[in-house]
A and B are shown apart, each in its own frame.
Chain A
Amino acid sequence: MSDGSAYQLQQFIPFSRDVYFRLLERIGESFWPLHVLTLLLGVLVLLLALRHKVRAGSILLAPLWAWVGYAFFIRHYAELNWAGNYIGYAFIAEAVMLLLIALSGKGLAKTAPDNRPAVIVGLILALTGLVGWPFIGLLSGDSWYQAEVFGIFADPTAIATLGLLLIMLRGWLLWLSAIIPLLWLVISSLTWWVLLNS
């Protein structure tokens, strides 16, 4: 796709690059030092997933999605984009789904994680979301509170969650619960692409 198509898609992105960066910075500033807690919770979910404590992992993950839906989307992102409220509700719906999966036990992996491709890809994605993503900010000169951290910002939350789901879930419920994180990542990638190319 060319710069021309970035300008075409611009009609769906109602804010500019600098304003989006400022929004992310302000979200980071206003929630600091909650980042430390959400990141630790994320690491804990990964450890639980790897030790086959998948029900507990799923229960811990759910409130983080509800929190990002409310704090990131409804409270902040929706200021710039009327669709933000709907995306926030979708994140809260994902939280409810994770909770229902945990409570019903359906869709949870029956065997401990081994070295199947899904588990390995899951581990890589989880580490990318939990560790790699904040590092992008830190490498480019952000301070800790500005770095995009799991459980506060939508992108690392969605990436790490996809990985955690690959480790913790099986069958159609795995795919169903991956839809909302995947959709957000598509929207987010397109947003960044348009913002950086127009």
Chain B
Amino acid sequence: MNNRLSRRQSLKLLAAAITAGLLPSLPVAAGPAAANPANNGMLQKKFGKAGKALPAIGMGTWRTFNVGSDPKLLDARTQVVKAFFEHGGGLIDSSPMYGSAPDVMGYALQKLGLPDSLFAAEKVWSPAGGSAREQVADLKQRWQLEHFNLMQVHNLTDWREHLAALRQMKADGKIGHIGITTSHGRRHKDLEQIMASEDIDFIQLTYNITHRAVEQRLLPLAQEKGIAVIANRPYDGGSLIKGLQRRNQPLPEWAAEECGSSNWADFLLKFIVSHPAITCAIPATSQVAHMQENMAAGSGVMPSASARQRMQRYIEAL
């Protein structure tokens, strides 16, 4: 199939063109929350006032889980979710904007059964999708779930109305936590204002080794206010890790000792989740092997503050 696809892909392209360091490395147990053998050694990070914890590696579903009703692909994605939970996964992030991804997650969870560690995170967006209440009800049906642990306002869309409705739903016990998302470095000033003035449990923003603007104001503010932080686009949408892999860029020699990393997925994700303000990173993948790599990054040696600086310098110098 691959041969045929690549031939077909190049023909399509043609056709389309015609038509138009100071501290030593810290073992996981000394991190913000301890590793727990019951969670496959996955780093658990505390959030909120109740002292709950989440596995440091979650998963996203943008593009990768939008497979429609294709039986073959539905089963393939179910295997990815299975690997996620087998490795101690918790938070799964989706959105009504991601096409069929919420339905695909519903299919996978039905097949696999509901794991105790599932922390289901969804979003409400533009008024086109109906009121926040209608959207949450619709999403519950699509995921085939009774309860969402987290409901976020997607990209700050109509955030005043949506947050007010979500707050009420949280008070009624209909959803667990509330939050707000952005990405690609957009609307950081607005997000900062919301964090300062509104009572929210989670924010979601883009943070990775090449996009660190949030380190300046948003991450310190989140720590100060006790707001949990989900890091989206950990591989910059895939271009970061695929670029490094395509160039056969070797890992620095010190990566094994200082970060416990033997591959780029591990290196890039550990950089993110070792930041004290980050609760979890949510890489998205369509492949079981990639899921296994991503989940492994949640355990073992975590880079220290000085090692994190070394990691940054190494990537900047490339």
- Residue numbers of A with Cβ under 8 A of B are 3-4, 7, 10-11, 13-19, 21-23, 26, 76, 79-82, 133, 136-137, 139-142, 155, 159, 185-186, 188-190, 192-193, 196, 198
- Taking a contact as CB atoms closer than 8 A, the residue among A18, A23, A142, A185 that contacts B68 in the complex is A23
How many angstroms from the CA of A15 to the CA of B19 in the assembled complex?
21
Task: Tell me if A14 and B13 are in contact (CB < 8 A).
Answer: no
Check: B208 CB closer than 8 A to any chain A CB. no
Query: Are B20 and A140 in touch, CB under 8 angstroms?
Result: no
Contact of A192 among B13, B63, B70, B97 (CB under 8 A): B13
Write out the residue numbers on chain A whose beta carbons fall within 8 Å of the beta carbon of B73: 19, 22
Knowing A22-B73, A192-B12, A198-B239, the reply to whether A80 touches B4 (Cβ < 8 A) is no
Asked if B238 and A14 make an inter-chain contact with CB atoms under 8 angstroms apart, the answer reads no
Q: For B71, give the chain A residue with the smallest CB separation.
A: A26
* Shortest CB distance A139–B (Å): 7
Known: A80-B66, A141-B8, A196-B10. 9 other contacts (CB 8 A): A4-B239, A19-B67, A21-B5, A21-B8, A23-B68, A81-B99, A140-B7, A190-B20, A192-B15
Interface SS of B by simple majority: helix
Minimum distance in angstroms from A40 CB to a CB of chain B: 23
Q: In angstroms, how far is the closest chain A Cβ from the Cβ of B4? A: 5
Q: Does chain A have a CB within 8 A of B16?
A: yes
Query: B69 at interface (Cβ–Cβ under 8 A)?
Result: yes
Residues from chain B with a CB closer than 8 A to the CB of A196 are: 9-10, 12-13, 16
* Residues in B whose Cβ lies below 8 Å from that of A21: 5, 8
Q: Check if A141 sits within 8 Å of B4, measured CB to CB.
A: yes
- Majority-rule SS of A interface residues: helix
Tell me which residues across on chain B come within 8 A of A155, comparing CB atoms.
Answer: 19
For A192, what are the chain B residues with a Cβ–Cβ distance below 8 Å?
Answer: 12-13, 15-16
- Which residues from chain B contact A3 at a C-beta distance below 8 Å? 239
Could you name 6 residue pairs across A and B whose Cβ atoms are closer than 8 Å?
A: A21-B5, A22-B73, A133-B15, A185-B19, A185-B20, A188-B16
A26 — which chain B residues lie within 8 A by C-beta?
Answer: 70
> Please, which residue of chain B has its CB at the minimum distance from the CB of A21?
B5
Closest chain-B Cβ to A70's Cβ sits at a distance in Å of 17
Q: Which of B10, B100, B286 has the largest count of A CB atoms less than 10 A from its CB?
A: B100
User: Would you call A19 and B238 a contact (CB within 8 A)?
Assistant: no
CB of B225 closer than 8 Å to a CB of A: no
Partner of A136, one of B15, B69, B70, B72: B15
With A26-B70, A82-B99 as contacts: A136 and B11 at CB distance below 8 Å? yes
Contact present for B13 and A193 (CB under 8 Å): yes
Q: Which of A79, A137, A188 has a CB less than 8 Å from the CB of B99?
A: A79
Q: Are A19 and B70 in contact (CB under 8 A)?
A: yes
Partner of A189, one of B10, B19, B64, B97: B19
Cross-interface CB contact of A17 among B9, B96, B98, cutoff 8 Å: B9
Q: Please name all residues of chain B whose beta carbon is closer than 8 Å to the beta carbon of A15 when the two chains form the complex.
A: 63, 66-67, 99
| Inter-subunit contact B11/A139 (CB<8 Å) | yes
Given A19-B73, A79-B68, A81-B99, A10:B63 Cβ within 8 A: yes
Measured in the bound complex, the distance between the Cα atoms of B236 and A18 in whole Å is 20
